[in-house]
Structure 1
Amino acid sequence: MPTLLRALLPPVTTALALQAAAGLPSIAAKSDRIYDLSGSLTFLAVGALSLYLPRLTGPVIPGVLSVLRGQGPTVLRHADWRQLVLTGAVAIWATRLGSYLFARVLQNGHDSRFDEIKHSPPKFAGAFFGQALWVSLCLSPVLLLNAVPPAVLSAAVPKLLLTDVLGLTIWAGGFACEVIADRQKSAWMKEKKEKLHDEEFMTRGLFSRSQFPNYFGEITLWTGIATVAAGILARTPVQLALGLSGGAGSILATTALSYVSPAFAALLLTKVSGIPLSEEKYNKRYGDRKDYQEWKKNTPKLIPRLW
């Protein structure tokens, strides 16, 4: 099996299998409670698997079974620091977001995004398939980077690149933006329930700079991860280790596979399930309010000061 295919196929298959395992009982019960939690757990599992599999020397399936039994290779000892940092960055993000969303759905009792489609098995199944696709595409730069033998990285890549510093800075900024926005929204909701204010919609803090600062943060952090990976994957020895030619076409391909991560996140959040669903809900509730219309008009939708 070609190196690139060996790196991508098992993690993608794992993402599909885990989402099927979470989706089947959820569809049967018409329950959306574990949807976001299952997505985060899939990110964690697929990210960890991508560290193990390239180090296996035998067939893939027995290797996966050995990992599940705790008999896999000593990954942490041999992996390059960038492989560990990017996989860890995804793990930190997935754990934080998954626990936040799971706590929210437990508190609310349901997720309003699925109020209609969870009663339609094909549509609800499509949501779980979409989540597997989301995991696979967003993780693509990490999967590619983890497929490179650490010995190649240590020999062919300097200890620190400009793209490392730039990418990790972008990730940190995006992660901070998402966390702060979620905490500000949670604090606002808590104060509203305690009748400490009578505001109908959130316009404080980061929400005075962007209508959806949490989505902006998420797209930004994936851009940071893609930047780190793309800078490394463009190097000729790394290209050859992945079974590629190292020419301009191959470099373009690995760069595109890296940046498909933030591109897909942006597509999902701005055109499919993020902003469109939220705007529809808010417009129904507050569309006739002058203060809401002024906030929408004067506040950038996603990118502060731009759009």
Structure 2
Amino acid sequence: MATTTSLLHKLLRLTNFRSPLLRAVVPGVGAAFALQAAVGLPSVLARSERFFDASGSATFFAVTLLSLYLPGLRARAAAAAAASPQPLLSILAAPHWRQIALSAAVAAWSVRLGAYLFARVLADGSDSRFDGLRDAPARFAGVWLAQAVWVSVCLGPVLLANGVPAAAAAATPPAAAAAYGLGLAVFAGGFALEVAADAQKSRWRRRARDKRHDRPFLAEGLWSRSRYPNYFGECALWTGVAVAAASLLVPRPAQLGLGLTAPVAGRVAVLAAAAASPAFVAFLLLRVSGVPLSERKYDARYGHRDDYRAWKQSTPKFFPKLF
């Protein structure tokens, strides 16, 4: 307990920047890289990707909670140093309910996805994405570094939103409140779609292992509407997170709370940070590690089959068809 308290005090001192913006962002980004290094180094030495996805989800969870409660910890530490009564300061530093709800949404997503991916790699024994990387330590280490970047960029708007003083977060005009509700609704829709797509794929694979069907690839349910409905759901939910976070960041009191004094530049900066999150997710899934890897694998396995070519031609790659 004493060691934990000492580490916390060191973290507070090291990240006690004069800029509120840096105080909001740097601890979370630093924690993301530290956690990935802590899991990545032994994994590279062991040539194992078993904990890659689980550590990514755990990092999302830990960094989100850190950003939510760090302002309150700073306030209590300041009160203790000044020998001031803490109850009022604790109340003022407590997160606003919108910050809590947004953080809870991200935390729920991270727990669900981490559990799903960890169970999958345990069942399969390996992850084909890492073929050719396990025996190349520098490249394998780069993947863990890239995951820290992924966490940092995706959580950027959340880190900023949680860095807004609670009083400023409460000063939300009606338009921003409506945008917040819309953002959470989009998140919920994307989250539900991703969960449903993953559940259908897991059920299909389980039935294949039990020899209850002999279909070589999944082309039913949501997978008959989109070739990658889980990826579409992932992009949608991060779009919802970005919209909800932006609704907390655009009002003038929030920007002043983050030290952004130039009205136009501040608004552009927070909107850019919010938009970067879903844009980065879409880039990774559509151009780097998601769709391209899967397309190459499936084309090599089933590209000679007429039914696969017909499914690929008639089914949108990303945006689900409605009819």
TM-score, normalisation: structure 1? 0.91
The within-5 A match list for 1:45-194 is: 45-57=62-74, 78-157=94-173, 161-194=177-210
> Is 1:273 the counterpart of 2:300 in the alignment?
no
Equivalent residue for 2:311, pick from 282, 295, 306: 295
> Does the aligned pair in 2 maintain the 1:76–1:84 contact within 8 Å?
no
One-letter amino acid of the structure 1 residue matched with residue 145 of structure 2:
F
Q: Distance in 2 between matches of 1:76 and 1:220?
A: 33
Displacement after TM superposition at 1:54 (Å): 2.3
Change (3 A) 1:155 1:113: same
Displacement after TM superposition at 1:57 (Å): 3.5
Displacement after TM superposition at 1:31 (Å): 0.4
Change (3 A) 1:180 1:283: same
Change (3 A) 1:290 1:113: same
**Ranges in structure 2 where 5+ consecutive residues have no aligned partner:** 1-16, 81-88
User: Which segment drifts farther, 15-24 or 77-86?
Assistant: 77-86
> Does the aligned pair in 2 maintain the 1:177–1:217 contact within 8 Å?
yes
Change (3 A) 1:76 1:178: farther
Q: Distance in 2 between matches of 1:37 and 1:155?
A: 37
Query: What is aligned with 2:26?
Result: 9
Query: What is aligned with 1:42?
Result: 59
Query: What is aligned with 1:31?
Result: 48
Q: Distance in 1 between matches of 2:194 and 2:209?
A: 23
Q: Which has the larger radius of gyration?
A: 2
> Does the aligned pair in 1 maintain the 2:186–2:239 contact within 8 Å?
yes
Change (3 A) 1:75 1:200: farther
> Does the aligned pair in 2 maintain the 1:51–1:75 contact within 8 Å?
no
One-letter amino acid of the structure 2 residue matched with residue 130 of structure 1:
A
TM-score, normalisation: structure 2? 0.87
Q: How many residues align?
A: 295
Q: Distance in 1 between matches of 2:236 and 2:75?
A: 38
Q: Distance in 2 between matches of 1:96 and 1:248?
A: 38
The within-5 A match list for 1:245-256 is: 245-256=261-272
Change (3 A) 1:131 1:301: same
Displacement after TM superposition at 1:5 (Å): 1.0
User: Which segment drifts farther, 297-306 or 168-177?
Assistant: 297-306
**TM-superposition CA deviations, 1:197-247 (whole Å, max 9, x none):** 110000011000100000000000000010011122111111111100252
Q: Distance in 2 between matches of 1:234 and 1:161?
A: 11
